[in-house]
Structure 1
Amino acid sequence: MVSSASEAELSVVEKAPKELFLGGSWRKATGGGTLDVIDPSTEEVLCAVADATPEDAMEALAAAHDAFASWKDSAPRDRADILHTAYDLVMERVDELALLMTLEMGKTVAESKGEITYAANFLRWYAEEAVRIDGRFSRNEAGAGRVLTLRQPVGPCLFITPWNFPMAMGTRKIAPAVASGCTMVVKPAKQTPLSMLALTDILERAGLPKGVLNVIPSSSSSEVSKPLIGDPRLRKLTFTGSTPVGKMLMEQA
C-alpha cells in the first residue's frame, strides 16, 4: 500500500484477507495471479488479491457440491446460530469494515457505516427466518387426497455481487442461502473484493462449515462464471449488476 495512507488505513488493509477461499481454506490462485485493488480517491494501489482462474472456479463449485450433501440436512437452529454470531461480529467491527469499504470503493465513511449496518441486518433477519422454513398440507382439488408441500434447499448457487454495495449485496444473497441450507460460490466485483473477503473471514469465524461458502475474486467475471453456469451441479444463479450482463447470464443459464 502507498505511503500516503494513514496508520488506520494501513491496518485495515493489511488485516483483510487477500486469497481465494475454497473448501474452507485460504489459498493463492492457480498460477499465482493477482488483481490490484485501487483506491478510487487517489488512484493508487491499496493491495493485490488472488485472481481466480476458471480452474479455481470449478474447484469452488466442487467444494460447494460436496458440502451440500451434509449442509442441506443441518439443523435450522444451527444455521440460525451461525448467522446470529456473524451479525454480532460484523457489528463489533463496523468502524473497521466501513473504512475498508471506503478505501476500495470511494463512498464516505458515514455512508459505509450505514451500509455495514444494513448488511448486518440481513444476517439477523435470515437468522430468524432459518427456523421458520415451513411447508403446506392441503386437500387436492378433486377432494380425494391430501397434498404435502415441503420447501427444500435447491443446491449449490453462484452469487455475483456489484462494486457499489459490496457488503450489503453480499449478505443479501449469502444470508438466505445459509438459512435455507444451500451452499455457494461468490464472485465479488473486481473493484471491491476486500469487503467480501472480510465478510468471508467473519462467516468462517462464526462457524460456517467448510465448503458452504467459497469466494473467487477475479479480474474476468465471464471467464470464471461461464464454466460454472454451464455445469449441471450449479442449481441457482443470482446477479446484481448491469442489464446487459444480466441478459447475457440469463442466456448462458
Structure 2
Amino acid sequence: MKPSATLRRQHVVAVALAVTALATVVMAHLSPGEQQVGFACDRQTCWRVAVPQTPASATFIAGAVDLTGDGNAEIIQREGEELRVLQDGVEIWRSEPGWRIVDVALGDPNDDGRYEILAALWKLDAAGELRSHPYIIAHRGGRVKLIWGGSAVTLPIHELALADSDGDGVQELWVVESAPPGDGADARQRTLSVWDWHGWGFNLRWRSEPGRYHDLRVTDDGLPVITNENVSREQKLRRLTGSTQANRAEARCWGSSLQRT
C-alpha cells in the first residue's frame, strides 16, 4: 500500500535530516568575491533569499537512507568514482566499473513514496565518448539495481541535490551544470537549474544565468544553498520563457532509454 502524501512528506523530512546528520561535512572558507546564496521557489520560478555566510563543502562522502522499506537505513558510501551500498556492514551493491560517479543525492526523486539514490555520472557511449547521465538506483525485487537510466544530457552535471523548495511535499531536483553555449561562458561557468519529475523523466522548471557556482547543498530546514564566485556583478535570475538562445539550444526534458520497476 502506498503511503499517504502526508506520511510521505514527513518521511522525506526525517530521511533528509538523517542524511544530513550522517553525511561527512567539511567546513569551507569563503574566498574574496564569493557569497553563499539561498533559493526559494514557486511553481513557475525561483529567487534568491539571504542565508548566513557559513559555507560547508557539499561533496558527498556517505549518507543513510532506508532503501528496502524495513525501517533500517542502508549506508551509501562513495569511494573515489565508485558508489557502494552497505546493509548491516555488508556490501550489497556496487556501481558498475564503467561508471564515474560525480555526485549523489538521497531521497525520493521519482515521487513514488519510496527512497532511492540519484547519481550523476560519466560513462562512455557507443562511440567511445564520455557522456554525462543522471541515474536512479533503488531496491526493487529483493535487490539494489538501476531502475531509471537517464539518457546523456546536453549540459554535463557537476553537482545535484534534492529539496522541496516550493513546499508542496515533493522533492525537486537541483542541478549545477555546465553553462549553455552561446552565453559567452568560460569553462568555469555553471548554471543552477531546477527539475520536476513527470512520470518517466524530468522537466526543466527554471534555470539561472551563468555564474561560477559550486558547493550545492541543502540546509537542515530544506533550503538549497550554493556558493557563487561572481558576486562582483549581479546575477540576474530569469523565468524560463523559452525565448533565449540558451533555452532554444538546451532540451527542457530528461528522458530515459531504461526504466524498470
TM normalised by structure 2 equals 0.29
**If each structure's helix is expressed as a fraction of its own residues, which one has the higher value?**
1
**If each structure's strand is expressed as a fraction of its own residues, which one has the higher value?**
2
TM normalised by structure 1 equals 0.29
Which has the bigger relative contact order, CA under 8 A and spacing at least 6?
1
